[in-house]
Structure 1
Amino acid sequence: MQFTGTNDYIASKQLQLAVNAAITLEKPLLIKGEPGTGKTMLAEQLAKSLDTNLLQWHIKSTTKAQQGLYEYDAVSRLRDSQLGDSRVEDVNNYIIKGKLWQAFVANKRPVLLIDEIDKADIEFPNDLLLELDKMEFFVYETQENVVAKQRPIVIITSNNEKELPDAFLRRCFFHYIEFPEREQMLDIVKVHYPDIKKDLLDQALTSFFQIREVNGLKKRPSTSELIDWLKLLVADDIPADVLHSSDKKNALPPLYGALLKNEQDIHLFEKLMFMARR
């Protein structure tokens, strides 16, 4: 089955090719791109389009690779032994299956999302090389070798916070999600707001892309922030002409807090708009 996007997710031709290539090669798909460009949503919509389960492993700075395989709860076992609980006789009662283990034993081929892998320690990707390559691992406490029933479809996202090891990159199919052009953005918005007024949408997109083009912004607004902003504009019934007011007091667009997320960017935008209108 070929992935072509869904009714709720507009995927570019390049992204469609990348997803289908990774599935054909049976390699993890490493997705990079600006925050808010739909990297995480890709895994959700891929699972939906394939009518299969999605297993999500959200990575934090403290996450260890072992947690994706399994964890042995020795503390609970010790406590139960002190209480005379008969469960201590079976070590399996204290093995907690991680997301990779769950994906390996699933009856139907699932989609496994390893989200924001670059948040973890630099050794984290290297610690998963064998498991993602051979699709198996060993459980020392039970002397069991866990082998995948079928290779899950693995989607790995990164925000480029740190470089990933070459050995890890060699095992992945890579795709960078380019920020949508105006025409593609129109299609994305219409998925969320099919009945939005044309003049409001046109002016909102113009303002949005103008803000993104401002040099020196610490954080440019993303697709998800545009969607939030439009939701507010529609909810408050903001007229389109307010978005291109020539009044210097209205240099910032209405409800700009959905787009600009720090005071430095707000001050920079105000200064540039004021200079442009002098």
Structure 2
Amino acid sequence: MSKRSEPKPWWLYRGSGEPNDNIGRLPPPPSWRKSKGPALERQLTSGGGPRPRFEASDEVIDMVNTALYLRRPLLVTGKPGSGKSSLAEAVAWELQLGRLLRWPINTRSTLQEGLYRYDAIGRLQEASLRRERGQTGASVAAEPDITQFLQLGPLGTALAPSKHPRVLLIDEIDKSDIDLPNDLLNVFEEGEFEVPELSRLIRTGADDKVAVRTLDGEVVPTDKGWVQCHAFPLVIMTSNGEREFPPAFLRRCLQLDLKEPGREQLQDIVRVHLGEEAVASSGALIQTFLERRSKETLATDQLLNAIYLATRVPGVQQDMETLQDVILKSLGSLGTP
């Protein structure tokens, strides 16, 4: 990871960690990336919580901004602990694009899960309960509103119409079923998706502008059963390199490989999290970490854990030689005898 230079004029995300309103300078998308949804106004926010800590190089900042301008997903690869997820948090925070939307992936994840959740059983139970109340003479409301049982998922919320883009983290997509990357292609390309349950209602004469709930608890409109984005979200997908992806999927993505931080970058990371004094007193631990990492799989947060114990816990020094062997255990050997 190379050292960051002075901000470039075209950068919206600068990697400074300080919130800014640069997203207002984002120009219209390329002609081949037009969207259809309305530009709903919303209050910009840093998303709450503590400021994310991420040391971004020029290469990383260049790629994030390129993805923003081109409205393309960013596929980020790197070893565990290289900061892939932290990058998404840092971008959402600095550009004040709301709470980071997260979609952790496993072998059972489906496109449907990311788009929306419909509790059909809950709606049937509610309808049955209302019928029973009617039979006993109690007042009964109309058929339960479908929108009470439907909520957008993380991908669906990212695609909800809004003036400014949301940031979506699709974490560890390499763990997905083999079909999921291909299933995402059309959604990434078009920026819209259908909710069939709403489309069927419209064919029976229901309102074609039904509103649905997002993961944030907001209410956004649909158009004839379709959720359509106005601003394409910044989608950051992480991969630990456990599988290859189809060429059609890779063609629609920008790719960034996060390199492991060197000594200088590790010192910067320690400085940000634990202060200058921790950097001054942890030279030996950093050296041990670098030597072991050259032969084994280690993550940066393991080093931070070791330095925290060494510099923040009184009386632990006499046990640090043993503890660092436990904390700096190779990730490649976890779970082996």
Q: Which position in structure 2 is the counterpart of 1:249?
A: none
Deviations 1:164-222 (A, max 9, x none): 222111110000001011111111111112232455321111111111123xx4xx211
Q: Distance in 1 between matches of 2:264 and 2:276?
A: 17
1:77-116 matched pairs, under 5 angstroms: 77-84=123-130, 86=141, 88-105=143-160, 107=162, 108-116=164-172
Q: Residue 232 of structure 1 contacts residue 255 of structure 1 at CA under 8 Å; is this kept in 2?
A: no
Residue 310 of structure 2, aligned match among 221, 233, 248 = 233
Q: 1:264, CA displacement in angstroms?
A: 5.5
Q: Gaps spanning 5+ residues in structure 2: where? A: 1-10, 18-52, 132-140, 200-224
- The 3 A distance-change label for structure 1 pair 257 and 87 is farther
1:206-221 matched pairs, under 5 angstroms: 206-214=287-295, 217=296, 220-221=297-298
Q: 1:242, CA displacement in angstroms?
A: 9.1
Please tell me the root mean square deviation across aligned C-alpha atoms, in Å: 2.6
Q: TM-score, normalised by structure 2?
A: 0.69
Q: 1:149, CA displacement in angstroms?
A: 2.0
- The 3 A distance-change label for structure 1 pair 81 and 231 is same
Higher helix share: 1
Q: Distance in 2 between matches of 1:172 and 1:260?
A: 34
Name the SS for the 2:282 alignment partner. Answer: helix
Q: Residue 43 of structure 1 contacts residue 111 of structure 1 at CA under 8 Å; is this kept in 2?
A: yes
Q: Residue 203 of structure 1 contacts residue 240 of structure 1 at CA under 8 Å; is this kept in 2?
A: no
Q: Residue 87 of structure 1 contacts residue 93 of structure 1 at CA under 8 Å; is this kept in 2?
A: no
Residue 70 of structure 1, aligned match among 116, 120, 123 = 116
Q: Which position in structure 1 is the counterpart of 2:16?
A: 6
Q: Distance in 2 between matches of 1:189 and 1:29?
A: 27
Q: Residue 267 of structure 2 contacts residue 279 of structure 2 at CA under 8 Å; is this kept in 1?
A: no
Q: Which position in structure 1 is the counterpart of 2:137?
A: none
- The 3 A distance-change label for structure 1 pair 197 and 157 is closer
**Pairs aligned (count):** 255
Deviations 1:216-263 (A, max 9, x none): x4xx211111111111111235799998xxxxxxxx564322210579
- The 3 A distance-change label for structure 1 pair 197 and 127 is closer
- The 3 A distance-change label for structure 1 pair 197 and 89 is closer
Identity %: 35
- The 3 A distance-change label for structure 1 pair 159 and 198 is closer
Q: Which position in structure 2 is the counterpart of 1:272?
A: none
Q: Residue 123 of structure 2 contacts residue 144 of structure 2 at CA under 8 Å; is this kept in 1?
A: no
Q: Which position in structure 2 is the counterpart of 1:177?
A: 258
Q: Which position in structure 2 is the counterpart of 1:276?
A: none
Q: Distance in 1 between matches of 2:327 and 2:257?
A: 25
Deviations 1:16-44 (A, max 9, x none): 11111111111001101001011001010
Q: 1:135, CA displacement in angstroms?
A: 0.3
- The 3 A distance-change label for structure 1 pair 88 and 68 is farther
Q: Residue 278 of structure 2 contacts residue 307 of structure 2 at CA under 8 Å; is this kept in 1?
A: no
Name the SS for the 1:83 alignment partner. Answer: helix
Name the SS for the 2:159 alignment partner. Answer: helix
Q: Distance in 1 between matches of 2:332 and 2:169?
A: 34
Q: TM-score, normalised by structure 1?
A: 0.83
Residue 118 of structure 1, aligned match among 154, 174, 185 = 174
- The 3 A distance-change label for structure 1 pair 146 and 196 is same
Q: Distance in 2 between matches of 1:9 and 1:42?
A: 6
Is 2:78 the counterpart of 1:23?
A: no
Q: Residue 29 of structure 1 contacts residue 174 of structure 1 at CA under 8 Å; is this kept in 2?
A: yes
Q: Distance in 1 between matches of 2:147 and 2:303?
A: 48
Name the SS for the 1:105 alignment partner. Answer: coil
Higher deviation after alignment, 104-113 or 49-58: 104-113
Q: Residue 2 of structure 1 contacts residue 20 of structure 1 at CA under 8 Å; is this kept in 2?
A: yes
Deviations 1:129-149 (A, max 9, x none): 111111011111111121102
Q: Residue 80 of structure 1 contacts residue 87 of structure 1 at CA under 8 Å; is this kept in 2?
A: no
Higher deviation after alignment, 29-38 or 64-73: 64-73
Name the SS for the 1:5 alignment partner. Answer: coil
Q: Residue 103 of structure 1 contacts residue 110 of structure 1 at CA under 8 Å; is this kept in 2?
A: yes
- The 3 A distance-change label for structure 1 pair 58 and 87 is farther
What is the letter of the counterpart of residue 147 of structure 1? Q
Name the SS for the 2:298 alignment partner. Answer: coil
Q: Residue 119 of structure 2 contacts residue 149 of structure 2 at CA under 8 Å; is this kept in 1?
A: yes
Q: Distance in 2 between matches of 1:126 and 1:87?
A: 41
Higher deviation after alignment, 194-203 or 131-140: 194-203
Higher deviation after alignment, 107-116 or 136-145: 107-116
Q: Distance in 2 between matches of 1:152 and 1:222?
A: 29
Is 2:329 the counterpart of 1:260?
A: yes
Is 2:290 the counterpart of 1:203?
A: no
